[in-house]
Each structure stands twice: as structure tokens, then as C-alpha cells.
Amino acid sequence: MHTLSMNRPAPAHPAPTAFAAALQRVKRRLPRTVLLVGAICLVIALILTAIDGRGFAVKLIYSLSVGVACNTIVFAAMLLSGWSTDLLYRARGRPLPDQSNAGWLGVLPGALGAALFGPPLGLSLVDGITGFTSPSMLNLNSTGSRLTLLFSVLATLITIFVLQAQERLADARAQAEAAQRQAAENQLRLLQSQLEPHMLFNTLANLRVLIGMDPARAQAMLDRLIAFLRATLSASRTPQHPLATEFERVADYLALMDIRMGPRLQSRLDLPPALGQLVVPSLLLQPLVENAIKHGLEPKVQGGRVEVSARRDDDLLVLSVRDTGIGLAAAATAAAGQDGSHFGLAQARERLATLFGGRATLSLAEASDSEGGVLVTLRLPIEATSPTTAA
Amino acid sequence: MNAPRCLIAEDEPLLAAGLQADLAALWPELVVAAQVGDGASAVARALALQPEICFLDIRMPGLTGLEAAQELAEDWPEDTPFPLLVFVTAYDQYALAAFDAQAVDYLVKPVDQARLQACVSRLQTRLQTRLQTQVADRSAPPAGTAPMPDDTLAQTMNQLRALLSAAASTATQPPKLLDVVQAQVGNLVHLVAVAEVIYFEAADKYVRVITAEREHLIRMSLRELLPQLDPQRFWQIHRGTVVQARCITTARREESGKVTLTLARRSEKLTASRLYAHLFKGM
């Protein structure tokens, strides 16, 4: 059995209909089914031969045809169930549900049908071809027919459950691999966006000038840069940290940008002390602040303000990043000419979905007051962002 | 000879101050005529002051350094030599390095002393050559009224063109080509087939859409519209004008290097700027 599992199915591609999904499943399963049925039928033929001592070859042929007939019925039932699912959903005008189980509904009725009709079908098939006459399946008094019925039902059930277990296992493994790959990719993209060459080299260029002009300030800037880099590089090792730490990282970033943009950037951080110990995903806010500056304030000639704040709303932690920049529409136009994307936003959304499921939200809107700009609001459930146990 | 003057366009104040200080040390005679923090001011100040050299940061609010250079190339007065351009960037995304030692120079931030020294020497040589050519022109008996269209100008234009197209091609995935332009007037939307359009003209935040019979206004910038037009059929001839090639009947090259176009089914003439004059040549 172990050699069979080497033949691992590819991760299921999303199929357009339940029927197509069921067909995909049947196709994927066919080679292994043939091997498995062959092996089981061989065993059945051997056992039956041992019981009544009649010819082995005849037993094998009968056993094989029964096995093939049983599995054909199961496959047909799976396809039928996929097809009827499609019909049902189309009739109700609803979008199709998740297809990962398409066809499975047909398995049980299929197995039942196979147990009832598989043996007579298979037997009469061989009878028709060879001219032999086997005992009628309806005559349950015959030991041979009872045994054939029993074995074929067993064989069909074994085939189905072995294959199903294998597929489930392979699917789970493929899913785990995909999740891992996604996480690694996200981490890489976070690093790339944080260590964006423009940001890094412009910061270093400012530092170079400051070293000559104002060494004390240069040192302070270098400290901020070091803290920023350390946080970015260790974000993968500390997936969560207290909100107060997150605000410190944002402050580091804003301090760097303040030196670079000078009077064009004003910033305000507002973290009520009571919320500082709530645990949040690390570097959740910082890419959003970066977005606000990159897409909102940097393209605006006179610059503007960015405000980051936290508050509690019942059992929700509400975090907001607001800028007085050029606004969403203008930012989209400006971004059309450069390589910038709203990666920070997509990434934050993805992380919230993974960590909190549907219980956390992220909204993006034009700020409603006269100053314009963009407001990003995050809402996280507080019971999930429980206070750190380590003080 | 008057002291050479330069303009520095850089949105980060410390970097502007740093460049100014470094230049003062390496080239004490160079006068910084203006220092600005955005692209639009760079164009305005450069046109007003006409410096010999412009240091343009590529990423600036408003216009980028490249767009500022494009405007300068189109609006620069014909009787004044075009300034020597030095682009400054933190990250060389347009492969400026490919243009090493050509007409337009570049600096990568942080700028090290040796690289700036090389840039300064090159600028000094170019200014010197330019001065000599002017003197030679003046002493030559039948002095032409228009200045010699020197090789550096042609080279500068070539390089600018290459940079602008590089910048355009780095834009995110190309949108689908437009078939119909929809212009709204009150409650009514006019649908204009793109094939019917003779030319598009930028008008502030709008684009004027001109057909043989009438004209419409669409709420879109030319920069947004341009990637949605087939470049084989619609040629940009100026930063604010895109014309359908088959509607052009004649192109006349002027002494200034600009090209005047006449159109089929429209009486007005269009002007192709120096940057796009190369589009029009006999086969």
C-alpha cells in the first residue's frame, strides 16, 4: 500500500463546476484504483479458491469483473452527485459552494449501489462473455454467492476508504505547504517594502550630510535607523508584540522621515497608556504609516500631517492612521506612473484575516473633514489581543 | 565670463544643503542661483533664471525630475543654450548608469566625493567647449542668427526621450486599449470612437478630445490616458498633445528644431516639440 501513496495527487485546482471537480477527482484516482482493485481481487480469488477448490483463473476473472463493476458504479455515483449539485445550485441561482468535497456525496450511495448491483453486473458480464453460468446472486442460499457478495462489498469499501484517506492526507499536506510558502512570501515582501532602496539610500544620504553638519543629530538618527532595521529584520521571529512597542517602531520610522522631509511632515502619535500592553501583530501599523507618507504626503508639494491613534471601543481595539495627503483618487493617478502599489494595505488585510479570521476589519476611506487625505481604520477583537503575561 | 550658475531641485532639505555644501567645496565659482523642493518650481525657476546647470532629483512631489526636464526641453527659449542636466536619485530604477559619460549626467545618493568630483569636471569641460563654440560662431564672418544646434542638445534630447520611455514602461501592467472615449456633459454622456479622434490635448486636469466636427472634455489626465492608446496610431508630439498619426498631412521642420504639423479635416496647426521632432523624417 505504501508504494501506492508515492503517486501523490497534485493539489486540487479549483474547478468551475462540481461536476468538473468530481471528474477531476475520479481521473486522479483511476490509476490507483485499478492497482488496488487488482490486488484485492487477486486476494479474493485466492481465498475463494482455497475455500471450494475450484479453478483459480475463473475466480480471478469473476472477482476482477465484480471489482471493476463495483468501482464503476461508485465513480458513476460520484459524477452523478457532482452533476446534480450543479443542477441544484443553478436552479436556485446560487453561486457554487466550495468544491473540495465535490462528488463525495455520491460515495455512500455509490458504495451501497455497488454492493447490491456490482456483483450481479460483474458476474453476468463474464457469464455473457465466457458462457459460464454462475449461481444467481438472488439465490443467497449458495455459500459461493454469499461469499462473492460479501467480498465484493468489502473490496469496494476498502478501496474507497483507503483512497479517501490518502487523498485527505495529501490535500492537508498540500495546504500546509501552500500556507508555509505564502507566509515566507509575505515575509519577503514585508522585508522588501521596509528595506525599499529609495527609503534606505535617501536615509543614508541624509545621515551622510548630518555627520558633517550636526554629529549629535546624526547619532540620534543612526540610533533610530538601527532600531528600525532591527525591528524589520526580527519581525518574523516575534510575530506579536505589545501595542506600545508597535508605536515605538512607528515613532522610529516617523523620526527618520521627519529628518528627511523636514517641515513638510508633521506627525502625532496618540496611545492611551491603558492600551499599551495589548498584544498586536508586529509591524501591523508601520507599513500603513509608510503608505500614508509615500502615497499621501510625499507627492504633496506642501506636505502635511500623519496621525496614528489607538482607542478602545467596547471589546474592540480601534487603530487608525490618518494623513492629510493628496487623497485616494489622486494617489491612484500618481501611482499609475510609478512602481508603487498598495502592498502595505493588502499585506495588513491578509495578516488580519489569518490571525483573526473575520473578526478583525480594515477599512480605507477618504477622510471626511475639510483637510482631506486618507483614513485607514483597523478594528481588532480585544479578547484576542490579550495583555502580555510577561511584564 | 560670468560665473556659471546652477539650480538645485531636491525635496529633502538636508540633501539639498549637503549637495550645495559639497559643490561649494569642489567648485567654488559655481553660483547656486536657486534651490527648490518640487518639480513645478524647478521648471518655473529654471525658465526664469536660465542657469547653465540643473541638478534634478528624480523623485519629487508634483512633477518628477524627468517630467521637469521634459517641460524644460519643450519650453526652453531658442536663443539660450539648454542647461546641462544632472539627475540625482537614491535608486537607479531607470538604468541611468547606461548613459554614463553621455550628455545627461547622473548622481546616485548618497553622493560620494569622488563621483561628485568627476561630475563637476565633466560639467566644467562641457561649459568650456560650449563657450569656445560660441566664440567661434561670433568670430565667423557670416554669423547665423540662430545658435548652432550643437551635438550636445541633440544628445540631451535623445537621452531624455530614452529616460521618459523607460519611466513610462515601468508603470504597472498596461491597461486595455481604449475603444470609445466617454465625455460627460451634465446628464448626457457622449461616446466618441477613438478612431474618430484627431488629437487629444491636455487642459489642466482634463483632456480635450478633438474630432473633425467637434470637441469634448474628459475628466482624466493625459498621463492616465496615454497608456490606453495604441502607440502605433497615436503619437505623442508634445507633453500635452497626442495626435492620431493618419490625420497628419504634412510636417515642416522649423529652425528652432520644432516641427509644425498640418492636419486632415482640421484647420489648426500643431507643434511637435524638440523631444518628439525625430518622429518626422522622410522614409
For A79-121, what is each residue's pLDDT tens digit?
A: 888 888 888 877 777 666 555 565 666 677 777 777 777 777 7
Residue whose grid cell is 498586536: A280
Question: For the complex shown, is ipTM > 0.85?
Answer: no
Question: Model confidence over B136-161: pLDDT tens digits?
Answer: 766 654 444 444 445 677 788 888 88
Higher pLDDT, A131 or A312: A312
Whole-number pLDDT of residue A148 = 66
Using DSSP's 3-state secondary structure scheme, residue B175 falls into coil
Is residue A240 over pLDDT 70? yes
CA distance A213 to chain B (A): 9
Is residue B167 over pLDDT 60? yes
At the topology level, CATH places domain B5-168 in: Rossmann fold (3.40.50)
Q: Answer whether A273's CB lies under 8 Å from A234's CB.
A: no
Amino acid letter, residue A301: V
pTM score over 0.90: no
Count how many Cα atoms sit within 13 Å of the Cα of residue A29 in the half-sphere of its side chain.
27
Q: How far apart are CA B100 and CA B264, in angstroms?
A: 43
Amino acid letter, residue B262: T
Distances in Å between the Cα of A257 and the Cα atoms of B14, B166, B248, B280 are 12, 28, 50, 46
CA distance B197 to chain A (A): 23
- Alpha-carbon torsion, ordered B88, B90, B94, B98, to 10 deg: 70
A220 contacts chain B (CB < 8 A): no
Residues 6+ apart with CB under 8 A from B2: none
* Mean residue pLDDT across chain B: 87
Quick check: A259 and B224 CB within 8 A? no
DSSP result, A228-289:
HHHHHHHTTT--EEEHHHHHHHHHHHHHHHHHHHGGGEEEEEE--GGGTTBEEETTSSHHHH
Whole-number pLDDT of residue A3 = 36
- Of all residues in chain A, the one with the smallest CA distance to B14 is A206
Whole-number pLDDT of residue A4 = 36
Delimiting residues of CATH 2.40.50.1020 domain(s) in chain B: 180-279
Q: How far apart are CA A77 and CA A99, in angstroms?
A: 16
CATH class in words for A195-381 = alpha beta
Is residue B42 over pLDDT 90? yes
- How many beta-carbon pairs below 8 A join chains A and B? 87
Q: How far apart are CA A160 and CA A157, in angstroms?
A: 5
Residues 6+ apart with CB under 8 A from B29: B3, B4
CATH architecture of B180-279: Beta Barrel (2.40)
Highest mean pLDDT among A6-10, A188-192, A199-203, B168-172: A199-203
How confident is the model over A308-318, as a mean pLDDT? Answer: 93
A323 contacts chain B (CB < 8 A): no
Is residue A152 over pLDDT 70? no
Is residue A133 over pLDDT 70? no
Q: Is the peptide bond before B110 cis (omega within 30 degrees of 0)?
A: yes
CA distance A217 to chain B (A): 12
**b/e per residue, B16-51, with b = 16+ CB within 10 A?**
bbbbbebbeeebeebbbbbbbbbbbbbbebbeeebb
Is residue B51 over pLDDT 90? yes
Is residue A138 over pLDDT 70? no
| Percent of chain A clearing pLDDT 90 (strictly above) | 26
**Domain extents for chain A?**
4-190, 195-381
Is residue B20 over pLDDT 90? yes
* Chain B residues with CB within 8 Å of chain A CB: 11-15, 17-18, 21, 37-38, 40, 59, 61-62, 64, 90-91, 93, 108-111, 167-168, 170-172, 221, 223-224, 227
Whole-number pLDDT of residue B139 = 62
Whole-number pLDDT of residue A319 = 95
Whole-number pLDDT of residue A278 = 93
Delimiting residues of CATH 3.40.50.2300 domain(s) in chain B: 5-168
Nearest CA to B267 out of B186, B220, B198, B175 is that of B198
Handedness of CA B91, B97, B101, B103 (dihedral sign): negative
Strand partners, B181: B192
Least confident of A49-63, A331-345, B53-67: A331-345
A278 phi and psi, to 5 degrees? -65, 140
How confident is the model over B259-269, as a mean pLDDT? Answer: 92
